[in-house]
Structures are given as structure tokens and as C-alpha cells.
Amino acid sequence: MTRRPDLFEEAAELRARGAAAAMATVIGVRGSAPARDAMRMLVLADGTTRGTVGGGALEDDIRRLGLEVIGDDASRRATLEISTEAADDSEMVCGGAVEVFVEPITVPTCFIFGSGHLATAVAPVAAVAGFRVVVADDRPSHATAARFPDAAEVLAKPFPEVFAALAPRLGPGSFCVVVTRSHRLDEDCVEACLRASPRWVGMIGSSNKVQRCRDALTARGLPAARVASLRAPVGLDLGAETHGEIAVAIVAEMVAVRRRSPLATAVKTAGIHTEPGVAATGKKKSAAHAPGKVR
């Protein structure tokens, strides 16, 4: 008979493959309640659960808390009262309360679309900052494990195939960095990312390029609110110019969003963190200030 893995083993397996999940643990019980201290339940992004914290309406409430935790990557501590009505409906004993701690157990994934010089700079910074890095490009010569040793996964296939493969994993806990080699590919990747409703999507580019991209996305039928959520030009305003500096600025913005820093809601200023070698006007800088064209 095959042994069923315990919740900690399942949690480790979910972390290893970057699946979004939360762990709910009972940390206190008052009065008559179906739960007991240290009972645990895993909540997955699709709403399914593993384990139990008592069943009935109590478990439904904790499942909803778990989904909230998955959505914003923030732990919650809550006390749930068990009313007489709830007890009658679910055949639970009435008059108690259960205190639970619900925490995200999954490392957030940073999906980098593009595998040029800027992508090779972003990947190690994102990994050090605590993100699971996945790199995708349609160029097998560029999207290799050798060029991205810090990435948990590297995909080398046409972008439509990339997004088909990643569809189950692009969700509220995902961060997407779009740095492909062309404006059209950037637009296609941004569109696919925004339609998947991840937590954050950022694209590098001049103010002219960003506006053209927004116009194109609107013309393709994306809702205005979804288009407005695109962070572009991407990155906190650190005055960055080189690939390494821009990578730090991009990941700093991701961290600000993840940790709900006030910096995450700062108004973007046109021209901040444009493509290397491109000024805010969209014109090329002098060669002395251009780290390179390949991204």
C-alpha cells in the first residue's frame, strides 16, 4: 500500500514546483469546538484542501482565509466563532471559538520573458531576493541553464507554447518581467501576462514605447483597469543606467509590491528605467551612456 505523504511533505513538494498554497494551523481552541491545537490544513490556489481543521463551516471560513493569503502573500491570524446556527447546520458542537494562523508556504515566482543581457542581470538579483525564477524565450541559443544558473527553470520554445505551458502557474502570486528583444514580442507577452491576472507585470521601455504598448493592448480588447496595472517603465527610481543597476531597481519594485511598501503605489514617472541606451524621450543616448542594445 502506497503511503500518503503528510502535509509537510506536500508543502515541500508544492514549494519545489512553485505552486501557490497556504498552511492553516490551529493555535488555540476555546469552549466546545471540533478543532484541536496543531491541526493543520493546506489550501491550494484552486480552492482544494488537504488535511483538516475540524470540518464544516469552520473549515470553509479557513479555506477562504487561505485563498486571501495566497492572493496577497501575507499571513493572517484570526479567531473564528462557532455560532449556534452554524453548529446546527453542520452538526458541530456549539459555543466555541478557534484561533488559526494562516501563512503562505510558496516562494513567489518571478517569470522573466526574454533572455538577453538584462534578463541575465535580473535573474540572480530576483533569486537572492527570495523569488523562484523561471526564464522563457523562443531562442534556444539564449534560454539555457548555463546562462541562467540561478533560475529554477528555463523554457526555450515559441512564446505561445510558453504561455500554454505556464497557464496553470500564472496567477495572483506571480511576478512577470517582460524584457524580450522586440517591441512586438513585449506587447504579446504583456498581453498574455495581463490576461492571466498575476500580482505584478513590469515592462522596460521608453515613454513612447510604453504608450504605444498601452494603446495596442487597449485595441486588443484588454480592460482599461488591466492595462493600467502594467508597471512601465518598470523599476523604482534609483537613477539606474547599467543593466545591473536596472535589475536592482526592477527587483526592488517587486519586493515593494510583495511587502506592500508605500513605494509600491508610487506614481510612475515617464522615462524611469527605460531600455538601456534609450532616453526618456525615446531617443538613443550617446554610446558612452549606452550599456548595449541586446536585452
DSSP for 201-239, please give it: EEE---HHHHHHHHHHHHHTT--HHHHHT-B-S-S--S-
Q: How far apart are CA 81 and CA 87, in angstroms?
A: 10
Which sign does the torsion angle of CA 277, 263, 112, 163 carry? negative
- The helix (H) or strand (E) run that includes residue 12 is helix 7-16
Contact between 92 and 57 (Cβ < 8 Å): yes
pLDDT in tens, 46-60: 899 999 888 788 899
Grid coordinates given for 293: 542594445
pLDDT of the residue at 56: 81
Which sign does the torsion angle of CA 152, 157, 158, 160 carry? negative
Short-list 202, 196, 165, 197, CA closest to 180: 202
Residues 6+ apart with CB under 8 A from 287: none
Give the gyration radius of the chain's Cα atoms. Answer: 22
Residue type, position 217, single letter: L
Which sign does the torsion angle of CA 281, 237, 118, 256 carry? negative
pLDDT of the residue at 18: 79
- Residues lower than pLDDT 50 in the chain: 86-90, 92, 267, 269-272, 277-294
Number of CB atoms found within 10 A of residue 37's CB: 11
pLDDT in tens, 145-174: 999 999 999 999 999 999 999 998 888 779
pTM over 0.75: yes
pLDDT of the residue at 269: 42
DSSP secondary structure code for residue 268 in this structure: P
DSSP secondary structure code for residue 278 in this structure: B
Structural domains in the chain plus CATH codes: 7-104 (no CATH), 109-289 (3.40.50.720)
In Å, what is the CA distance from 212 to each residue of 120, 141, 182, 216, 226? Answer: 26, 29, 13, 6, 16
